[in-house]
């Protein structure tokens, strides 16, 4: 199976199915298509429009089957490898896992808009300002913390063992770290569970090594001084 992903520093949607495939040791040939300005004649769009109907990452190719969109890919993998239990075995937890993935997939717009994933960057200077200024951001984070607090075991994952649900919330953990957002102790415990996962460590290490910065993904890096003064 071939998984097309974007730059590891930025591509939160790519991180999700990649983590699932790594964590569950699924056969994967990875193709990293580095982010550019996403213009129609740029390398990213030129390649991805040949691979995927959406022209976006992530996209999975399994022989003659093409699956695009992170959630669709994870559902496809769960169906393709039922013995791996990518969704929780327990029916109640499985329903919860599906619900919180769908909630992540379609929600948390303020967090997504203002705190794009940027693993390599230290954005704590802007994180505290965003936290103070944006009620929507505080509401998104409160909801995420509530979801995390409902995990069955404090030392465990969101719905028991590591599942697709954790892969869906891992990029949020990356954002909480980069932007230094004020998170409860209980949530920090969950963040540690994610940050010590071997697949997550591998993604972070590779993201930090990339050092290929793209302007439209960097609303803050260039303006650090200006933000600090304002």
Ligand X SMILES: N[C@@H](CCC(=O)N[C@@H](CS)C(=O)NCC(=O)O)C(=O)O
Residues that bind ligand X (CB under 6 A): 6, 11-14, 38, 55-58, 69-71
Rg over CA atoms, the chain: 17
Torsion of CA 196, 83, 53, 218, to 10 degrees: -10
Q: Count CB atoms within 10 A of the CB of residue 220.
A: 21
Nearer to ligand X, 6 or 160 (CB): 6
- Residue spans of alpha helices (H) in 107-180: 109-114, 124-133, 135-149, 164-178
CB of 117 to ligand X, least distance (A): 8
Nearer to ligand X, 103 or 161 (CB): 103
CB of 207 to ligand X, least distance (A): 13
CB of 84 to ligand X, least distance (A): 21
CB of 185 to ligand X, least distance (A): 31
Nearer to ligand X, 69 or 140 (CB): 69
Residues belonging to the chain: 230
Rounded to whole angstroms, how far apart are CA atoms 126 and 143? 21
Nearer to ligand X, 78 or 183 (CB): 78
State how far Cα 24 lies from the chain centre: 17
CB of 213 to ligand X, least distance (A): 15
Using CB atoms within 10 Å of the CB of residue 159, give its burial: 0 to 12 exposed, 13 to 18 middle, 19+ buried: buried
Nearer to ligand X, 184 or 212 (CB): 212
Residue nearest to ligand X (CB): 56
């Amino acid at each position: 199976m071939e998984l097309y992903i974007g730059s590891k520093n930025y591509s939160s949607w790519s991180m999700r199915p990649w983590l699932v495939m790594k964590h569950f040791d699924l056969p994967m040939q990875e193709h990293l298509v580095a982010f550019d300005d996403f213009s129609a004649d740029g390398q990213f769009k030129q390649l991805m429009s040949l691979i995927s109907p959406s022209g976006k990452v992530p996209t999975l190719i399994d022989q003659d089957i093409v699956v695009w969109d992170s959630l669709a890919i994870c559902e496809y993998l769960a169906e393709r490898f039922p013995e791996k239990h990518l969704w929780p075995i327990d029916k109640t937890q499985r329903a919860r896992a599906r619900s919180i993935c769908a909630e992540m997939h379609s929600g948390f717009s303020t967090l997504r808009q203002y705190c794009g994933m940027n693993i390599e960057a230290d954005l704590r200077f802007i994180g505290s300002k965003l936290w103070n200024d944006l009620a929507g951001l505080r509401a998104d984070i409160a909801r995420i913390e509530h979801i995390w607090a409902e995990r069955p075991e404090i030392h465990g994952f969101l719905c028991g063992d590591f599942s697709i649900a954790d892969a869906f919330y891992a990029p949020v953990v990356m954002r909480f770290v980069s932007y230094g957002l004020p998170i409860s102790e209980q949530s920090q415990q969950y963040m540690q569970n994610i940050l010590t996962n071997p697949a997550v460590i591998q993604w972070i290490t590779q993201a930090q090594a990339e050092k290929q910065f793209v302007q439209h993904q960097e609303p803050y890096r260039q303006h650090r001084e200006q933000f600090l003064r304002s």
